[in-house]
Amino acid sequence: MSETPEVLYAVADHVATITLNRPERMNTISRAMLDALTAYLIAADADPDVRVVVLTGTGRAFCAGLDLGEVTKAANPNGGGITSGAENATDLDLRNTPPTVLFNMGKPTICALNGSAAGYGMDTALGCDMRIMAKGAKMAAAFTKRGIVPESGGTWFLPRLIGWSKAAELIFTGRTLSAEDCLEMGLVSRVVEPSELVDVARALALEIAANAPLAVQAAKRMMRMGLSETFGDHVHHVFLQLLPLLKSHDALEGMRAFMEKRPAVFEGR
- CATH number (domain holding residue 163): 3.90.226.10
For the segment 22-39, what is each residue's pLDDT rounded down to a tens digit? 999 999 999 999 999 999
Q: 150 burial class (0-12, 13-18, 19+ CB within 10 angstroms)? A: buried
Angle, helix 154-162 to helix 164-173, in steps of 10 degrees: 140
* Burial class of residue 219 in the structure, from the number of CB atoms within 10 Å of its CB (0-12 exposed, 13-18 middle, 19+ buried): middle
Q: Do 198 and 251 reside in the same domain of the chain?
A: no
DSSP annotation of 66 reads: B
Q: Are 94 and 38 in contact (CB under 8 A)?
A: no
Structurally, how many domains does the chain consist of?
A: 2
pLDDT tens-digit profile of 192-244?
A: 999 999 999 999 999 999 999 999 999 999 998 898 889 998 988 988 888 99
Q: What is the pLDDT of residue 90?
A: 54
181 and 53 fall within a common domain: yes
d(CA 6, CA 27): 8
Q: What is the pLDDT of residues 141-151, one digit of tens each?
A: 888 777 777 77
Q: Are residues 253 and 161 in the same domain?
A: no
pLDDT digits (tens, 9 = 90+) for 106-132: 999 999 999 999 989 999 999 999 999
Backbone angles phi, psi at 138, to 5 degrees: -135, 160
Q: Are residues 127 and 180 in the same domain?
A: yes
- The dihedral over CA atoms of 237, 229, 120, 128, expressed in degrees to the nearest 10, equals -40
Looking at the structure, tell me whether residues 158 and 224 fall in a common domain: no
Give the residue numbers spanning the domain of 232. 213-259
Which among 88, 111, 93, 206 has a CA at the least distance from the CA of 157? 111
pLDDT at 85 over 50: no
DSSP state of 4: P
Q: Are 11 and 47 in contact (CB under 8 A)?
A: yes
Establish if 55 belongs to a structural domain. Answer: yes
Give the pLDDT score at 71: 52
Alpha-carbon span 47 to 139, nearest angstrom: 31
Let me know whether 111 and 18 are in one domain.
Answer: yes
pLDDT at 238: 87
Look up the pTM and report it: 0.87
Average pLDDT for the chain: 88
Instruction: Summarize the confidence of residues 58-85 as an average pLDDT.
Output: 63
Does residue 1 lie within any of the structural domains?
A: no
Q: What CATH number did the domain enclosing 242 receive?
A: 1.10.12
